[in-house]
Chain A
Amino acid sequence: MNPISAIHLGPVDYGILVVYFAFVLGIGFALKRSMKGSGDFFLSGRSIPAWVTGLAFLSANLGAQEVIGMAASGAKYGLMTSHFYWVGAIPAMVFLAIFMMPFYYGSKARSVPEYLKLRFDEKTRGFNAISFAVMTIFSSGISLHALAKLLETLVHWNYWTCITVSALIVLVYIFLGGLTSAIYNEVLQFFMIVMGFAPLVYLALQDAGGWTVLKEKLIPVATAQGFAPGTWSQSWAHLGNPVENPMGVGWFGMVMGLGFVLSFGYWCTDFLVVQRAMAADSMSSARRTPLIAAIPKMLFPALVILPGMIAIALHQQSGGMFLPTAADGTPDYNMVIPTLLAKYLPTGLLGIGFTALMASFMSGMAGNVTAFNTVWTYDIYQSYLAPNKTDAHYLWMGRFATVFGILISIAAAFLASQFNNIMDMLQLVFGFVNAPLFATFLLGMFWRRTTGHGAFWGLLGGTLSAAIFHGLALAKGCVPGIKGGWLHPMFPFQSEMGQNFWMAIVAWSACFGLTVLISLLTRRTKSDEELKGLVYSLTPKPKSEDEAWYKRPVLVGVLVMIAVVILNLLFL
């Protein structure tokens, strides 16, 4: 058997894809009438039921890079990849629902940067808004580039045709239906992913002989690379020392770096996901949004990580003939999902699986575009460039921002296709900016003494610490430069991932310490009265006692946490 490098779509598969495109555009057209003001376009008029915002919350993050990347990690690192879900995402989502959503939703802020403006000051908002807008639009470009490159290799479609067609579809449905259109399509994408990937995993697992046999087949994968036999099928057992596992990360770096700093930083402060909850129809729905997302999210490792584990087991068993080989001689981990699609799904089911992949690319991009046009219009354009215009003007600007946002994405995709280094450099800088963010929000929400100066300079100091740490740390096998160590490589790491987790810990701690220090040295500019609804101790707790049990955030949050602890214990 030879590795599969292309997917052959039949007429039925193309039919399924065309039906999907028709629905995506149809949703945009049908929503056009509801877009009466900027609040409809950017916030869906705060009218979306919780089950819809919840599934969109989950889906907005489920871009194809996530799907392809998690499967790749499943093959490369095994079940340890589940920490991105069971240590990272889920606790952060529960925390967001119970503790942070009351401020985001209750303060009536229209965006995360605007919350910073209400809580702190203009400069903190400006820093966050501008860095977020730039990052978001470049991420959208990178995802566009990844899509086109994948389709070029898989189905031999022309690179620029892929870019133009997918960008155009996303443009049309957001231009017409704004955030609601993006959210509706994200929910559709969620069901497409489940419908497309469930039969794939079912067949692949059956072919591998079931879970018990799969665990045995993963033993030679681990031992061949010099690790203990259970490394690929256990999530916690090999975290004692970074040299014991393929991720090159120890338990502290994992729990603090990935779990606490990076995951809380992403899920609790990134406007891309928080915007979905802000569109909910009530405080209760907003708080339930991340919890509704957490339940399927908990089970997603079976859909996205397990295929990677199966693929690497079959690859080992077949003597390296299952996955294609990458340029450096290792298996091409990014081809896990495409390989499984081509191998197990016959025409018809293949159409569903392939469409699911396309759907996740497009809605990943749409998520970025809607977050960008909101932050651009409210936090940059309305705040600094053209205040006091009519609402119709800002609605128009939102549509216009959608067009030029997508044009910049295409330019970024072009940049990515020409100069790989520029994109690596940008993502590195984004990492510096994101790492300390959660410290600012945590202090802002839970310590009323935090001042605007403290927040701003703490954030800047945290970003700088991340850059300096990066200049001093270097992972095994890397040369000083973009990978780190450009100042003086004095902290060696087992892997780039370990280096990255520790960079986050350092940046977060620096930001936390600096913010506290500077806050104590500067005068408060906001009174307790002004901070009502923005700080925990000054805000009345939202009541949920008279709601049904499944509508109470704290109760559901505790149940979700119990479930995730059980999952961790099951796959210890």
Chain B
Amino acid sequence: MNFDLRLPLGLIFTIYGIILIGTGLTSTPEMIRQTLGQNITLGWGVVQLLFGLAMLFLSRKK
């Protein structure tokens, strides 16, 4: 039987979320300027992390 696709989806976006949160927290002022004065990297990292964790949770549930 095939494995549940939500497992790799959950893993990869959890990893990406953590990478982006790390990058967002260490953003240089130059990077913040590029995203029009907001720390989009941090915010979008949180979104990806939550999405990843939700997928992991769903793949575990059954």
Interface residues of A (CB under 8 A from B): 12, 15-16, 19-20, 23, 26-27, 30-31, 34, 44, 47-48, 52, 180, 184, 187-188, 191, 195, 198-199, 202-203, 206-207, 343-349, 351-352
Contact = CB atoms under 8 A, between A and B. Distances in A.
Given A195-B13, A203-B35, A349 B8 contact: no
Contacts of A188: 8-9, 12
A344 B40 CA distance: 10
Given A346-B34, A348-B23, 13 more contacts: A15-B19, A16-B19, A19-B16, A23-B11, A27-B8, A199-B35, A202-B40, A207-B36, A345-B34, A348-B41, A349-B41, A351-B19, A352-B16
Most chain B Cβ neighbours within 10 Å, of A20, A195, A344, A348: A348
A347 B41 CA distance: 9
24 contacts: A16-B16, A16-B19, A19-B15, A26-B8, A30-B8, A31-B3, A52-B5, A184-B5, A188-B8, A191-B9, A195-B48, A195-B51, A198-B44, A199-B40, A199-B44, A203-B35, A206-B36, A343-B34, A346-B31, A346-B34, A346-B41, A348-B23, A349-B40, A352-B16
Nearest to A195: B48
A349 B1 contact: no
Interface string B11-31: 111011001100110010011
A31 B16 contact: no
Contacts of B41: 346, 348-349
A349 B48 CA distance: 11
A202 B34 CA distance: 13
Nearest to A202: B40
A349 B44 contact: yes
Contacts of A52: 5
A203 B9 contact: no
A174 B58 CA distance: 27
- Contact count band on B: 20 to 34
Contacts of B45: 348
Contacts of A351: 19
Given A26-B8, A184-B5, A195 B16 contact: yes
A195 B41 CA distance: 12
B3 A30 contact: yes
A450 B21 CA distance: 61
A351 B8 CA distance: 19
Contact of A346 (B8, B13, B27): B27
B9 to A, nearest CB: 6
Given A203-B40, A352-B16, A347 B5 contact: no
B15 to A, nearest CB: 6
Given A206-B36, A348-B24, A34 B1 contact: yes
Contacts of A191: 9, 13, 51
B13 to A, nearest CB: 7
Contacts of A34: 1-2
Nearest 4 A/B pairs, CB to CB: A348-B23, A346-B31, A346-B34, A348-B41
A20 B3 CA distance: 18
A34 B2 CA distance: 6
Nearest to B55: A191
Contacts of A180: 2
Contacts of B48: 195
A12 B2 contact: no
Contacts of B35: 199, 203, 344-346, 349
B53 to A, nearest CB: 14
A349 B20 contact: yes
